[in-house]
Amino acid sequence: MQRHEQEAGANLRRWHDKPVLQKIYREFHQLIARQLADVPGDVVEIGSGIGNIREVIPQCIRTDLYASAGVDQVENAYQLSFADASVSNLILFDVFHHLRYPGEALHEFARVLAPGGRVIVFEPCVSLLGLVVYGPLHPEPLALRRPITWSAPANWNAADAGYYAAQGNASRIFLGHAYANELKSWRRIRCTRLAALSYVASGGYSGPQLYPDALYPVIRALDRILNPLPWIFATRLLAVMEKADASSGQRD
């Protein structure tokens, strides 16, 4: 809890000290906003951190594992307090790779989502550049050779999930067809890979900014040039999955 508060405080200070970071996240959140399903229900973000998504999606309910100034309510992704079919959209920004048992979380997401509701995931992306950015240059592991444990063991307690990180999981699960059977109760609406060099070179919340604010439009233009070569330059993945029907939350 104390570590979480310290990290949130540090991130908030960096947010105010880095105007370019605010521009980048605003564009990311605008991209996410364009994916929202137009169905009845709440828009909910899981793992909101400092809660800056509200600047673009003002109706969004911000949640996290711990209470903070940027959070509206405390939620566990594996045991959400929302009623069945009461949520229109669930947004996970740099959260999916912290889910040790993604199948358990997706099952819970299907429970709370209304028919036609969406899970919108924004994550690190594995490419040649992504291997460098999220490999030796990042403290969290890519874990590309580590097996993904889809479902939790029978005696598992969601409240004791513990820390987990595998930055490559979203690319492994949502790109290609390796996990098509596990995702058969979802419709894949969109999987978009982005170069996002403007974000990488900004240093994010933890690293130094490698270009002056005035060059941001130039770096963004470079992003657009490199986006058509995702297997080389993509560092970000946007995956949008839609609940197919009212039975999607049922286990086989």
pLDDT tens per residue, range 109-126: 999 999 999 999 999 999
- Separation between Cα atoms, residue 17 and residue 30, nearest integer Å: 21
- Separation between Cα atoms, residue 89 and residue 41, nearest integer Å: 8
Q: Which residues of 213-251 are buried (b: 16+ CB within 10 A; e: fewer)?
A: eeebeebbebbeebbeebeebbbbbbbbbbbeeeebbee
- CA angle, residues 203, 204, 208, in degrees to nearest 5: 30
For position 209, what pLDDT does the model report?
96
**Residue 7: pLDDT above 90?**
no
E strand or H helix at 119? strand 113-124
Confidence of residue 132 (pLDDT cuts 50, 70, 90): very high
Confidence of residue 4 (pLDDT cuts 50, 70, 90): low
E strand or H helix at 129? helix 128-133
For position 249, what pLDDT does the model report?
41
Question: DSSP label at 94?
Answer: S
**Residue 247: pLDDT above 60?**
no
- Separation between Cα atoms, residue 137 and residue 43, nearest integer Å: 34
For position 251, what pLDDT does the model report?
40
The residues pairing with 61 across neighbouring beta strands, listed in sequence order, are 44
**Residue 250: pLDDT above 70?**
no
Least confident among 22-26, 94-98, 139-143, 247-251: 247-251
Confidence of residue 5 (pLDDT cuts 50, 70, 90): low
The residues pairing with 124 across neighbouring beta strands, listed in sequence order, are 236
| Mean pLDDT value of segment 71-80 | 97
Residue, of 212 and 6, whose pLDDT is higher? 212
| Average pLDDT of the chain to the nearest whole number | 93
| Mean pLDDT value of segment 214-230 | 98
pLDDT tens per residue, range 162-209: 899 999 999 999 998 999 999 999 999 999 999 999 999 999 998 999
E strand or H helix at 197? helix 197-200
Cβ pair 44, 63 in contact under 8 A: yes
Residue 85's nearest CA partner among 20, 129, 41 is: 41
